[in-house]
Amino acid sequence: MGFTKLRLSHNVLQALTEMGFSKPTPIQEQAIPLLLQGEDLVGQAQTGTGKTAAFGICILERLFSGVAHTTHENKVRALVLTPTRELAVQVTGEVANIGRHLPVKILAVYGGQEIEKQLRPLSQGVDVVVGTPGRLLDHIERGTINLKDVELVVLDEADRMLDMGFIEDIEKILSKTRQDRQTLLFSATMPSSIRELSKKYMKAPVEVSVSEDSLSVKNIRQYYAEVSKFDKLNVLLALLVQKKPHLALIFVRTKRGADRINEILLDRGFRSLALHGDMSQNKRDRSMEAFRSKHINILVATDLASRGLDVTGVTHVLNYDTPDDPYTYVHRIGRTGRMGKEGEAISLVFFDQASLIPIIEKVTDSKMEQLKIEVKPEELPKRVRFHASESRREFHGGRREGGHGHGGRREGGHGRREGGREGGHGGRREGGRGRGHGSSPPADRPYSSRGHQYFGRRN
């Protein structure tokens, strides 16, 4: 079934066609007709299944289909809650892209940027707010965001928000919205806490889920290579030389490890950047934008910093540090092999980790092929002349990334709320200065489909 059979408006269909979307994914095919009928919905779907487009289409159709529209000051009509800053920016960009032919104004509000920089666009009026719970509550308490006119609320990756301790924040936010709102909840898992939340705040929600086949890793070729601590790095370098990945994600266990591997890759001429929580928000945004725009083709990331990361065209996922949890493994490799395209996942395992392989194979219902990597020192990339920091400055503007921030090991932000609420729950979360100014999009300007992607006209 094509999108045309979903009875979408011309402007939305035109945008989907321009974006190369001709056929809805399973979650879109199930959810969109129900959403357009105004149903509350609980959707079980992982990242990469098309859920963002599903609720994005619903928001745009509800706000703009057949209705003369003007944006009124401080009148937010749709709200999307996300667990992380990166996901808020990502959702904002995708919804704005689908609404490129509509006069929608959408703003991401999240920690890591001074709250004052978000006040001007809010005072000018936005239709849709996408934000993290702590920063949104800051605005509510300041009176800079009023949710009394919100017609539709989306809780995206709800299980992760609850895991991060945001349940009280979510309940406070929902209490500020209309009682007759439409509420959508999307979650990769369905623990009892999600069931309780849906019963309390949703009206007879319809449940949809993506089948196991749709969540499988059938489009991903999976390999593993046994390594020792002495040859592990050289095996990684040899893989990069042999595979020549178009776009690769390298997962490591720690923030220090991400910086170390990134420095080594840069020093040997690879185009890479790191992504972890001790980087300022500005640098994290710049890393993501450089990866999405393919100015770099390797991103070295930790699990927490990469949550919700959804980049089109990832060809390889390399587990430099293979996780002990098979479900974390599935979440990692799910960044490739999307939308019918094939991908490769390669995991480096120590000899005493060999017992993980049959567990992973059972969870994924697929086989992992063992690779025998022959490391020839003469074929490994040599150190280049310039220091790695020179390449890093090209994207990050000088200062070395690192954990000197106010948030310590937590996801810190500017002021009381973000440092405490979004950085204070579950102290193991990564964090940093929380003072970056952001990019793609700048948080002080909302996406606007009128002309330029922000306010203003196209040049």
Distance between start and end Cα atoms, the chain? 38
Residue 297 has pLDDT above 60, yes or no: yes
Return the CATH number at 330: 3.40.50.300
Cα torsion through 316, 317, 319, 323, rounded to 10 = -150
- Return the structure tokens found at 12: 């939305």
The structural domain count of the chain equals 2
- Dist. CA 158–CA 185, nearest whole Å: 7
pLDDT of residue 427: 39
Q: What is the pLDDT of residues 15-34, one digit of tens each?
A: 999 988 888 888 899 999 99
Per-residue confidence (pLDDT) for residue 450, from 0 to 100 = 43
Do 28 and 146 have their domain in common?
yes
CA 66/CA 82 separation, integer angstroms? 29
Taking a C-beta distance cutoff of 8 angstroms, is the pair 446, 126 a contact?
A: yes
Does residue 173 share a domain with residue 262? Answer: no
Whether residue 275 is found in the same domain as residue 366 = yes
Alpha-carbon distance 375 to 110, whole Å?
45
Q: Are residues 51 and 181 located together in one domain of the fold? A: yes
Residues 338-378: tens digit of each pLDDT: 766 889 999 999 999 989 999 888 878 889 999 998 888 88
Q: How far is CA 279 from CA 161, 209, 287, 391, in A?
A: 22, 35, 10, 17
Angle of helix 326-333 relative to helix 356-364, nearest 10 degrees?
60
Residue 386 belongs to domain spanning:
220-396
* Domain-located, residue 421: no
Give 348's Cβ-side CA count (13 Å radius). Answer: 23
> Does residue 373 lie within any of the structural domains?
yes
Over its C-alpha atoms, the chain yields an Rg (Å, rounded) of: 22
Residues linked to residue 41 through DSSP beta bridges, in sequence order: 184, 206
Q: Are residues 164 and 274 in the same domain?
A: no
Are residues 57 and 167 part of one domain?
A: yes
- pLDDT tens for 78-135 read 999 999 888 898 899 999 999 999 999 999 999 887 788 899 889 889 999 999 999 9
Regarding whether 122 and 101 lie in a shared domain, the answer is yes
CA separation for the pair 246, 38 (Å, rounded): 42
How far apart are the C-alpha atoms of 267 and 262, rounded to whole Å? 8
Q: Are residues 244 and 385 in the same domain?
A: yes
Q: Higher confidence at residue 73 or residue 362?
A: 362
Q: Is residue 409 part of a domain?
A: no
Same domain (yes/no): 296, 192: no
Decide: 366 and 249 in contact? Cβ < 8 Å.
no
Does 203 share its domain with 224?
A: no
Contact (Cβ atoms closer than 8 angstroms) between residue 430 and residue 409: yes
Residue 81: name the closest of 143, 140, 153, 145 by CA. Answer: 153
Paired tokens of 367 = 């086989």
Evaluate whether residue 340 is within a structural domain. Answer: yes
**Torsion angle (degrees, nearest 10) of CA 243, 328, 44, 365:** 70
Question: Are residues 49 and 97 located together in one domain of the fold?
Answer: yes
Q: DSSP secondary-structure letter at 373?
A: -
